[in-house]
Structure 1
């Protein structure tokens, strides 16, 4: 099995993206954005948001290396900046900064499944950087690419399930349970961010000027 898929990369990529994209933490946001929708419209919004997020992450996974090469950005530099971004996302989860969208009463109807739900709430800077770093870790090997593909599909499946059954999940966890899960996710993500930055600093020191 390990010859077909890199299990370590699969686990780290899935866990990192799961914590960043936070399916359970998305539930209250999704419910707020779709509060005026019917059940059918809410199901369609869940599909559209998942598709948009998957498309954005996939594009950056495939072409992120070319962007880095064109801009002459090294992997340690990307890793350090990515760690900083992830730390900001972690603080957002821990402190609740910017997680609840403001109502737009009287505004023209917009497809909230595309913006802001699909991007930047789901496919935000943290998730994009994490996906690009995972591609770097794959090092062009087939097992690594398979691991990333499986992780991306699995994470977005979790996102779709969370939004599809958001009413049920929120009813079970209630506000306090959802908040607790979000705070725990933020704590774990903060640890991941610090580790990324530490590894990047050591790599930059080894490279020298």
Structure 2
């Protein structure tokens, strides 16, 4: 059976815990995952978690990152057997080609700079190139935007990408799910990302509606 992964691109915006939660959710659902971490994202991971994400030691660094939720114990066990890591400067990587069998791509978090590069087809690194490939192949592309406030330029670019078929998900957690911790708010956003590509998960409690008066 041919391997068909989800490509997860991590840009340099603040919010790398969202990416970790999405990757954990995909692995928990038994999905194959390809990871692309931009150069700016490695600096953000270091700033937000204290973890130095190194290309040469990506497996141990990725495991440490995924095993470090914000304010609770270790998550459910996961395996990295079906995870591939591609360096941001590798334009010969699998996700750079439309013939590479990927299910789609999730950019989490997605910076305004990444939005711009994807919108104009800049392909300055593998993350942007893989996103452009996802669009041209008409595969699902989800951009979890973490930027505030949004400029008019970015809003117009997001509207253009929506017109191209991308799903735009602001990193806006919902509080109705009974979230009592920062990690639960992170998991809510990660869960909405996975919902948009129909990957089953148990990251948050779903709204079931309120019963009216008897």
Give the shorter-chain TM-score range. under 0.3
Find the structure with the greater CA-based Rg: 1
Q: Which has the higher helix share?
A: 1
More strand per residue: 1 or 2?
2
Greater RCO structure (CA 8 Å; 6+ sep): 1
Q: Normalising by structure 2, what TM-score?
A: 0.27
TM-score by length of 1: 0.28
